[in-house]
Structure 1
Amino acid sequence: MLEQLSGIWANFLNLFDSIPEDNIAITVYILGTLIILRCWYSIAKRLPSPVGGITWIIVFAIIATPTISEGPNSAIAPAFFGLLFGVLTKDSPLIWSNAALITFVIGIGLVVGFFWSKYKANKKSVQEPTATKNISPL
């Protein structure tokens, strides 16, 4: 029985040998980011309205902002790892460039969130007077 399982496991691992490493790494990074953001969304929706959205944008920026570091695996690394690497190596340009990227993504997210909240409030105010006309005073 154990020999059959080891044979099945070897065949299963041979499947991964045929897929390039870069594709596996990118797939794991994207799926991991989506899982983390979905989990954080379930937490953030229980927070007050602006705080939940802002924390979701910050988590998104930390996890999904690409880095500008050099190296073989830096193309798929988040900017947060580049920021940590810069802090550990005391490389100021690396620290500031990755922090600027994260801050830029947070800023863009906050601007988009602001306009989205204005759109939702305007949409709600346009629909609300028609709904109140059908309500009886008694």
Structure 2
Amino acid sequence: MLDQLAAIWNGLLSSLDSVPEDSIAVTAYVGGTILVLWCWYSIAKRLPKLIGGVTWIVLFAILATPTISEGVNAGVAPAIFGLIFGVLTKEQPLIWSNLSLILFVTGLGLLIGYLWSKYSESRDTTSI
């Protein structure tokens, strides 16, 4: 039985060797972000409507705001990692660029949420 499981496990690992590391990392990151946001949604819907929506938007902005990493392996990375790295290395330009991206996505999300709430209010009043 253990030999069969070991053979299955080795087959799975060998099939993962053919997939590029970048694809695995992006898939894990996107899947993890969706899972965290879905879990937070189940909590936020029990909160007052305004607080739940704002906290979901802020969490979305923190987790999903992209930036470009630096170095020889430069690629798309979450801005929160750049912000944390900038704080740890005390690089002010890195801190401000990543923080401004996160705040921009938060502001854009709040604006869209406000416009959506006004739209749904007007739709509810016209249907009555």
Shorter-chain TM-score bucket reads over 0.9
Moved more, 38-47 or 4-13: 4-13
Q: What is the TM-score with the length of structure 1 in the denominator?
A: 0.87
Structure 1: tracts of 5 or more residues without a match: 129-138
Q: Tell me if 1:11 matches 2:8.
A: no
CA contact (8 A) 1:58 1:106 kept: yes
Tell me, what secondary structure is at the counterpart of 1:71?
A: coil
Q: Determine the structure 2 residue equivalent to 1:135.
A: none
Counterpart AA for 2:28: V
Tell me, what secondary structure is at the counterpart of 2:80?
A: helix
CA RMSD of superposed structures (Å) = 1.3
Q: How many percent identity over aligned positions?
A: 59
Alignment of 1:1-138 (within 5 A): 1-71=1-71, 75-128=75-128
Tell me, what secondary structure is at the counterpart of 1:77?
A: strand
Question: Which runs of at least 4 in structure 1 moved beyond 6 Å after TM superposition?
Answer: none
Number of aligned residue pairs: give it. 128
Q: In 2 relative to 1, CA 51–72 (structure 1 residues): closer, same or farther, beyond 3 Å?
A: farther
- The structure carrying a bigger strand percent of its residues is 2
Q: Deviations over 1:26-45 (max 9, x none)?
A: 11111111111101111111
For residues 123 and 106 of structure 1, the distance between their equivalents in structure 2, rounded to whole angstroms, comes to: 25
For residues 52 and 127 of structure 2, the distance between their equivalents in structure 1, rounded to whole angstroms, comes to: 25
Using the TM superposition, give the Cα deviation of residue 73 of structure 1 relative to its aligned residue in structure 2, in angstroms: 5.8
CA contact (8 A) 1:80 1:98 kept: yes
For residues 59 and 74 of structure 1, the distance between their equivalents in structure 2, rounded to whole angstroms, comes to: 25
Q: What is the TM-score with the length of structure 2 in the denominator?
A: 0.94
Q: In 2 relative to 1, CA 62–77 (structure 1 residues): closer, same or farther, beyond 3 Å?
A: same
Tell me, what secondary structure is at the counterpart of 2:75?
A: helix
Using the TM superposition, give the Cα deviation of residue 127 of structure 1 relative to its aligned residue in structure 2, in angstroms: 1.0
Q: Deviations over 1:22-80 (max 9, x none)?
A: 11111111111111110111111111111111000000000000123313665342111
Using the TM superposition, give the Cα deviation of residue 3 of structure 1 relative to its aligned residue in structure 2, in angstroms: 2.2
Tell me, what secondary structure is at the counterpart of 1:67?
A: strand
CA contact (8 A) 2:68 2:76 kept: no
CA contact (8 A) 1:44 1:56 kept: yes
CA contact (8 A) 1:26 1:76 kept: no
Structure 2: tracts of 5 or more residues without a match: none
Moved more, 19-28 or 113-122: 19-28
